[in-house]
């Protein structure tokens, strides 16, 4: 063990056995304090370096871009944080509506209107419905069933909108037979027969299209209807007898032809009138309609 010599400082630093000098003995007090400060500073530096965390080395970046996983899709549509989809450049498809053929522009008709109530009320109409005199309906010889018509009384301007459910009137110089309720609307109950204008509101695109026939007679005795058919059978075809239940009993109508278009049917009726001197009525042929109806004579 090495002893401390007289006049030596008690502080000395061993640098190791392989150092150039085994012992360093500072003599001046300033040197001793500087050495202590240097040692303290060195200790702080060493402790600070030890507290640092090691930095992991990263491999070099790949030349291909990293793949980003897609976010999970929303399963509901009411999320408050969901981003609204971008507006599409395509137009929004609208629900298509059924195309309704346009009605003929300005399709009107003028003539005389009558009305009917009891004893026809409660009987079956030509379209199969039960006639109710308190509903807004009417009878017409050629308009398709369910055609909606505005009827205007030309003497006072009153009008009513009716639906065609029946066939008639089979009286000369009349174009429509109104229900009791419709006649009240246009104030024709008292006069009985008034001059009117008919305007098609809705229904078939062409009220004059379809098939028509010409009525040449109506008889209470079937034998009389059969005789007329036999006489006309040689020159005209087809000829058929249509019975129907009228308010006064069964009547037998004799009808001639099946003609496409109302205009052609009217020309055919005019030839029959000129040659045979018949009182003729052009009537629409209603496919599937009941044979027995309350059509008026």
* Residues 56-76: tens digit of each pLDDT: 444 444 444 333 344 433 333
pLDDT top residue among 237 and 137: 137
The C-alpha atoms of residue 181 and residue 101 are separated, in whole angstroms, by 30
Backbone region of residue 7 per phi and psi (left: phi > 0; alpha: psi in -120 to 50; beta: other values): left
The C-alpha atoms of residue 52 and residue 42 are separated, in whole angstroms, by 16
* Residues 74-111: tens digit of each pLDDT: 333 333 333 333 433 333 334 344 344 444 545 899 99
* Residues 121-179: tens digit of each pLDDT: 999 999 999 999 999 999 999 999 999 999 999 999 999 999 999 999 999 999 999 99
Q: Which of 102, 125, 108 is CA-nearest to residue 202?
A: 102
* Token pair in block for residue 249: 């009993």
Q: Give 269-276's long-range contacts (Cβ < 8 A, gap of 24+).
A: 269/214, 272/214, 272/216, 272/236, 276/216, 276/232
pLDDT top residue among 42 and 23: 42
114 forms beta bridges with 177
32 pLDDT tier (thresholds 50, 70, 90): low
pLDDT of residue 40: 65
Task: Spell out the domains of the chain, with CATH numbers in brackets.
Answer: 108-202 (2.40.40.10), 211-284 (3.30.70.1070)
Q: Which of 132, 139, 147, 133 is CA-nearest to residue 296?
A: 139
Q: Given the DSSP bridges, would you call strands 281-284 and 211-219 parallel, antiparallel or unpaired?
A: antiparallel
Backbone region of residue 285 per phi and psi (left: phi > 0; alpha: psi in -120 to 50; beta: other values): beta
Instruction: Give the strand order in the sheet containing 249-260.
Output: 239-246, 249-260, 211-219, 281-284
pLDDT, mean over the chain? 75
- In the 8-state DSSP scheme, what is residue 64? S
The C-alpha atoms of residue 292 and residue 269 are separated, in whole angstroms, by 23
Give how far the C-alpha of residue 209 lies from the chain's centroid of Cα atoms, to the nearest Å: 28
DSSP notation for 16-45: -TTSS-S-----SHHHHHHHHHHHHHHHHH
**CB count, 10 Å around CB of 42?**
10
User: Which SS3 state, helix, strand or coil, does residue 249 take?
Assistant: strand
Q: Which of 288, 292, 293, 229 is CA-nearest to residue 257?
A: 229
* Residues 187-205: tens digit of each pLDDT: 999 999 999 999 999 887 7
């Amino acid at each position: 063990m090495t002893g401390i010599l007289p006049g030596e400082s008690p502080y000395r630093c061993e640098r190791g056995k392989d150092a150039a000098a085994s012992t360093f003995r500072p003599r001046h007090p300033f040197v001793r304090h500087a050495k202590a400060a240097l040692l303290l500073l060195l200790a702080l530096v060493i402790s600070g370096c030890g507290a640092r965390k090691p930095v992991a080395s990263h491999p070099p970046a790949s030349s291909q871009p990293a793949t980003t996983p897609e976010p999970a899709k929303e399963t509901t549509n009411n999320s408050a944080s969901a981003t609204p989809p971008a507006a599409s450049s395509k137009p929004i498809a609208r629900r298509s509506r059924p195309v309704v053929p346009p009605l003929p522009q300005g399709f009107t008709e003028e003539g005389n209107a009558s009305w009917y109530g009891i004893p026809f009320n409660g009987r079956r109409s030509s379209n199969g419905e039960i006639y109710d005199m308190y509903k807004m309906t009417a009878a017409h010889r050629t308009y398709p069933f369910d055609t909606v018509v505005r009827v205007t009384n030309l003497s006072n301007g009153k009008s009513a909108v009716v639906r065609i459910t029946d066939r008639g009137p089979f009286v000369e110089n009349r174009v429509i037979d109104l229900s009791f309720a419709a006649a009240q609307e246009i104030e024709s109950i008292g006069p009985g027969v008034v001059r009117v204008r008919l305007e098609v509101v809705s229904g078939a695109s062409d009220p004059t299209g379809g098939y028509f026939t010409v009525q040449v007679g109506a008889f209470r005795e079937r034998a009389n209807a059969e005789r007329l058919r036999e006489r006309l059978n040689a020159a005209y075809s087809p000829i058929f007898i249509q019975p129907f239940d009228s308010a006064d009993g069964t009547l037998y109508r004799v009808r001639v032809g099946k003609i496409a278009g109302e205009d052609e049917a009217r020309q055919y009726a005019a030839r029959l009138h000129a040659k045979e001197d018949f009182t003729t009525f052009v009537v629409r042929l209603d496919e599937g309609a009941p044979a027995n109806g309350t059509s008026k004579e």
